[in-house]
């Protein structure tokens, strides 16, 4: 008969005084490490605990989330700014929006000195083609110009100009200040223009990158011709409508440049004068719209194209984003410091 063996009991090893001391030290060290990584808790007074029970600090109550969303949808600013404004306004949505509007004006004033040379153009023509508007809205960076809020503001601006004209722009100031707070950059409506035609139509062109655009007023012809002439203006950048409209000061400046260049060749004065006259005529032909070669057909002048179509170009305007703005050269550290201030 086989006898089953019972499992041997594990008897704990008796601890000596030395081992007890080591174990105690090890446990103490482990406890200290736990405490080191545990966040420090501040002792809260009874009054503070009562307030915290009413409205826990840093925690948004479920009843507040709807209000925060409403403020954010009406202002476009960040969640944290909306929450802070609601706290300051005692959960009153209208007061919170008023606080944000005041903050927007202050931030816009602080950023007004920054150079805004990027941005986009917005162009709009009325349904009947009798009027058209174009605005240039600038930002500090190209990244900001692609922001949806920025694009919406540009569209709002061109609609405003089409309805009210380019002389009164104060109606856009509040929306501009709010956009500055949302994006964090200096935003400016640099220039705007409206054409209202009494005897013709307004044609427009906006390049695919939204940085180059033009308006033309055409009498006669059709909407297609107006768009074609506007595209030509954007591409060829004429300075005047016809050669006789060139300012005398501009003409004299070009003549002096050509004379200085021709005299350097050492040719006789009579020949130099003929060279200068030829270059001036070429400058006029290249700078006046009616004398330019049509961009789609270089063998045809724009004036001849209009004449064949029974149309007349009365005026035009061309905008290019950032033209004429002097950009400041700043190092990266200075740029970051400027944004933090």
Looking at the structure, tell me whether residues 200 and 91 fall in a common domain.
no
CA distance 86 to 95: 8
- Pair 160, 105 in one domain: no
Residues 98 and 156 in one domain: no
Q: What are the backbone dihedrals phi and psi of residue 194, each rounded to the nearest 5 degrees, phi first?
A: -130, 135
Confidence check: pLDDT of 33 > 70: no
Residues 106 and 210 in one domain: no
Helices (H), 237-329: 248-263, 269-287, 302-308
pLDDT in tens, 298-308: 999 999 999 99
CA atoms within 13 A on the CB side of 175: 16
Instruction: Write the DSSP symbol of residue 322.
Output: T
Range of the domain at 97: 60-110
Alpha helices in the chain (DSSP H): 17-37, 46-54, 62-75, 79-88, 93-110, 142-145, 148-164, 173-183, 223-236, 248-263, 269-287, 302-308, 332-340
**Do residues 165 and 146 share a domain?**
yes
Query: Is 27 a domain residue?
Result: no
What local confidence, expressed as pLDDT, does residue 1 receive?
46
pLDDT surpassing 60 at residue 71: yes
- Side-chain half-sphere exposure of 244, counting CA atoms within 13 A: 0
Pair 236, 188 in one domain: yes
Residues 181 and 306 in one domain: yes
Q: How many CB atoms lie under 10 A from the CB of residue 338?
A: 13
Are residue 129 and residue 212 in the same domain, yes or no?
A: yes
Q: How confident is the model at residue 39 (pLDDT cuts 50, 70, 90)?
A: low
Q: How far, in Å, CA of 186 to CA of 126, rounded?
A: 30
- Specify if 228 maps to a domain: yes
Is the pLDDT reported for residue 78 higher than 80? Answer: no
Residues 123 and 241 placed together within one structural domain of the fold: yes
CATH number for the domain spanning 83: value is 1.10.8.10
Q: Number of structural domains, the chain?
A: 2
CB-count exposure of residue 285 (10 Å: 0-12, 13-18, 19+): middle
173 in the same domain as 148: yes
* Residue 272 within a domain: no
**Per mean pLDDT, which range of 90-99, 119-128, 291-300 is the poorest?**
90-99
Asked if the structure places residue 338 within a domain, the reply is no
Burial degree of 93 (CB within 10 A; 0-12, 13-18, 19+): middle
Q: Rank 147-151, 219-223, 266-270, 335-339 by mean pLDDT and report only the highest.
A: 147-151
179/213 same-domain check: yes
Name the band, by pLDDT with cuts 50, 70 and 90, for residue 184: confident
Together in a domain, 169 and 294: yes
**How many angstroms separate the CA atoms of 11 and 27, rounded?**
22
* More confident: 54 or 127: 127
Signed CA dihedral, 230, 318, 162, 145: sign only? positive
């Amino acid at each position: 008969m086989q006898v089953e063996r019972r499992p041997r009991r594990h008897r704990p090893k008796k601890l000596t005084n030395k081992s007890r001391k080591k174990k105690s030290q090890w446990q103490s060290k482990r406890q200290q490490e736990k405490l080191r990584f545990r966040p420090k808790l501040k002792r809260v007074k009874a009054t503070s605990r009562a307030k915290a029970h009413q409205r826990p600090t840093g925690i948004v109550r479920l009843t507040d989330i709807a209000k925060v969303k409403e403020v954010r949808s009406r202002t476009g600013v960040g969640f944290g700014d909306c929450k802070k404004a609601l706290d300051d306004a005692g959960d009153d949505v209208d007061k919170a929006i008023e606080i944000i509007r005041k903050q927007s004006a202050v931030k816009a004033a602080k950023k007004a000195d920054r150079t805004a040379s990027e941005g986009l153009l917005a162009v709009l023509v009325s349904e009947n083609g009798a009027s058209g508007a174009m605005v240039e809205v600038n930002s500090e960076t190209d990244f900001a110009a692609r922001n949806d809020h920025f694009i919406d503001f540009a569209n709002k601006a061109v609609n405003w100009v089409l309805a009210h004209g380019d002389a009164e722009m104060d109606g856009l100031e509040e929306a501009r200040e709010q956009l500055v707070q949302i994006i964090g950059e200096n935003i400016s409506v640099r220039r705007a223009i409206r054409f209202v035609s009494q005897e013709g139509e307004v044609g427009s062109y906006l390049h695919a990158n939204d940085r180059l655009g033009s308006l033309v007023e055409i009498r006669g012809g059709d909407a297609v011709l107006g768009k074609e002439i506007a595209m030509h203006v954007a591409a060829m950048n004429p300075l005047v409508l016809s050669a006789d409209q060139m300012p005398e000061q501009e003409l004299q400046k070009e003549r002096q440049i050509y004379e200085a260049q021709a005299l350097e060749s050492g040719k006789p004065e009579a020949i130099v004068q003929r060279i200068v006259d030829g270059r001036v005529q070429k400058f006029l032909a290249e700078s006046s719209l009616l004398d330019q070669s049509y961009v789609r057909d270089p063998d045809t002048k724009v004036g001849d194209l209009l004449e064949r179509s029974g149309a007349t170009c009365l005026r035009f305007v061309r905008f290019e984003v950032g033209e004429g703005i002097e950009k400041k050269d700043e190092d990266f550290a200075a740029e970051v410091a400027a944004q933090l201030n």
